[in-house]
Chain A
């Protein structure tokens, strides 16, 4: 039995971070069969986090973010071609060029794409960008080099905030428009968002919260400016649409799998569910496209857009693809991600949106170095550090052991106040940027959120 699993045909759809790490793990674990990698992008697997950071600053070229290879994968690469469907009966992946790839086991790692500007005509204006691929980043960096008069960033999630930060570092004028009350609140809640707002203002960003962009204006096919819901307007020659991500699941519409806008649902072992909620045993999923249950967060299904999750989940999925039942592992890693913006390193562990309150455990907002701890019903569920990432392992352990909230001890750099405040986790519907962590069950802080937003 287990010998069978080490051979046969495996197809991986999505040749990016999760796909590559899964392929490497398959070989590490002794898979000797036929391996095929299908990817819509022409470039071999590359890294996305630098695209909104070093690449926009002109420090690294977009073509230079190739992912380092951990080992040879000996695969057949089909790059620049889209998979259009999975035939669950014949067990094959269908490609846009008509080719059919039969498989014994399939890994789906198709990630997400940038949510486009909803009005196609405006989106087509020269100067309007989204940022998801190396191509996007190269084109945007080139335009920033040319010294635009003003850049408009639509959406103040992580990507939008990083883009704004890069523009300010280049000395460019930037307007950020966010429908919610502050930047980053989709991932970190309103209390943290207030800090993020101050940070952007201090760095000279023209930050406009609580507004939506109602129109992108153009002349002769080029962007000239934008209008806002509060009646104001600006001139800008670049607009970056940073409205969050859309899961690449449409191609699975006829596959019979539990795929939808929130991702492809799977069990803790990365095995995809079919549309009836029955777990499959030959279709696996990993990375941004996956939606998986997590025991630390009341078994809610989580959709994450985190680099570390893509790697960890790919490794578990690959392991489980080539090992029999008793040796299979659960994907239980605590969510974690980082961001750098406005000279700060922000890192998060756990799920900050799974919280009702937040308290500063170390440092202070004034000093711009702190660890904020999030709690839900008296236990610690997340921690976010600003320039203090090295302590986070400790907080991760507190999350894993459901330690009581608020933490009561004094550590290095004790905080000024230890009174928790509501974490103000918003309903994602009020954000213009999508959340990078989606709890696809109920939102714990919904009631508090509504209560606190009036002020």
Chain B
């Protein structure tokens, strides 16, 4: 068996993208595993959950012993995902104002009809085809259309921001063996460009009647005074990327998993009321965000008998915690009826996923529509070709054969 201190290299190795789960099992055997670069990998459920609620753990990379300013780009600060409270809370609350409770409690639910309509139209567009790519034809355009409408970004600009989004994501790809410096430069430029673009869009809405979030950011700043221009740029970039690069994996992973488990698919056809639980089970079984490479120990932290030194990078492998047999019975079994499914798919603690309610709703609507309207879907390639990132893991393409589209 290879040494535990190379586990992270093996996990990020593209060759293991299709099935990282045996590596996660190995990680759990080791508890907390120090890596040869001085970072610490944590893959057991209870320890991850503990660290999520541990105030000695920072999300701000400036607290690392080896300073890490990846993500810093000229003119655009790090978004709240990479900051600690109280800064994180201030920014997150402002971003939440037009998106969720207490000020916009109905916002996500009110999109139900719109999302269902978008999903329906995308499926209508598949008529007459016997082969589709689930990613290109459905799982990508659905969340992109939704996040564009929500934020107020013109859908036709997608080719532009898609390139930026890909570059930004490649920037936090922690795969050690490629050329990280070059990738990060490109990522920084992309973030700046995307920030400028979104900042100008928001500015153009100032004083105008508009329902979207960018308009709300400039027109309804709330009691704390609202975002500065750079803060607005950083936040909008985060929301646009997170809103369209994660849900695509949720939908694709769901379809892949269901086609690999025909009995579960059958069950969901018979009992559509199980859909919310099925989506939770996908979030456990094949989470779109596999790991969080962002955390840092603010002080020496002892956990599971290992002392993580102050300033050391901490990598929380959510997808491994989700398969921890000390937390979940038969963790490697996909079970859409699983009770007590408190998975780590959306993280936990103060940084728990901002967009979770929207992702859940999109996932449920998308799967319901696909299950009821695609006739005889079959996988044409298993495992499919994966996207590069070990963090936001999901198939790049999911070719399916279908025998038809129902009304």
Chain A residues at the B interface, C-beta cutoff of 8 Å? 361-363, 367, 369, 371, 388, 390-394, 397, 409-413
CA A362 to CA B58, docked complex, whole Å? 13
Given A363-B86, A391-B55, A412-B85, 8 other A-B residues pairs in contact with their CB atoms under 8 A: A361-B55, A369-B89, A391-B350, A394-B54, A411-B55, A411-B299, A412-B58, A413-B85
Establish whether residues A413 and B349, one from each chain, have CB atoms under 8 Å apart when the complex forms.
no
- CA gap between A413 and B60 in the complex, in Å: 12
Residue B167, interface by CB 8 Å? no
Asked, given contacts A367-B86, A369-B86, A390-B349, whether A410 binds B298 with beta carbons under 8 Å apart, the answer is: yes
When distances are taken between beta carbons in the complex, the residues of chain A under 8 Å from B350 are 390-391
Interface residues of B in 278-309 (CB under 8 A from A): 298-299
Given A367-B86, A412-B85, the answer on whether A392 and B298 have CB atoms closer than 8 Å is no
Among A361, A367, A411, which residue has the most Cβ atoms of chain B within 10 A?
A411
A394–B53 contact, CB under 8 A?
yes
- Asked if residues A394 and B85 are in contact (CB atoms below 8 Å), the reply is no
A394, B56: Cα distance in complex, Å:
10
Whether A412 lies near B53 (C-beta < 8 A) is: no
Give 24 A-B contacts (CB < 8 Å), ordered by A residue.
A362-B55, A363-B86, A367-B86, A369-B86, A371-B55, A390-B349, A390-B350, A391-B53, A391-B54, A391-B350, A392-B53, A393-B49, A393-B50, A393-B53, A394-B53, A409-B299, A410-B298, A411-B55, A411-B56, A411-B299, A412-B84, A412-B85, A413-B55, A413-B86
Bound form: Cα–Cα A362–B89 in Å: 14
Task: Output the nearest chain B residue to A396 by Cβ-Cβ distance.
Answer: B53
Question: Could you say which residues of chain B place their CB within 8 Å of the CB of A369?
Answer: 85-86, 89
* Chain A at the B interface: SS class: mixed
Min distance, Cβ A136 to any Cβ of chain B, angstroms: 26
Number of interface residues of B (CB under 8 A): 16
Interface residues of B (CB under 8 A from A): 49-50, 53-58, 84-86, 89, 298-299, 349-350
* Smallest CB gap from B51: residue in A: A394
Determine which of B50, B57, B84, B299 lies in contact with A413 in the assembled complex, contact meaning CB atoms within 8 Å: B84
User: Taking the nearest CB of chain B, how far is it from the CB of A415, in angstroms?
Assistant: 11
- Decide: B53 and A390 in contact? CB cutoff 8 A: yes
Q: Report the separation of the CA atoms of residues A361 and B298 in the bound assembly, to the nearest whole angstrom.
A: 14
Distance of A190 from chain B, by nearest CB (Å): 25
With a cutoff of 8 Å between Cβ atoms, the chain B residues found around residue A362 in the complex are 55
Determine how close the nearest CB of chain A comes to the CB of B219; give it in whole angstroms: 24
* Cα-based distance from A412 to B89 in the complex (angstroms): 12
A411 to B85, CA, bound (A): 10
Across-interface contacts of B299 in A (CB, < 8 A): 409-411
Contact B298 A411, beta carbon cutoff 8 Å: yes
In the complex, what's the smallest C-beta–C-beta distance from A54 to chain B, in angstroms? 12
Chain B residues whose CB sits within 8 angstroms of the CB of A411 once the complex forms: 54-56, 298-299
Closest residue to A391 on the B side, CB-wise? B55
A422 to B82, CA, bound (A): 37
Kindly report which residue of chain A lies nearest to residue B339, judged by CB atoms.
A28
CB distance from A61 to the nearest CB of B (A): 18
When chains A and B are docked, how far (Å) is the Cα of A394 from the Cα of B49?
10
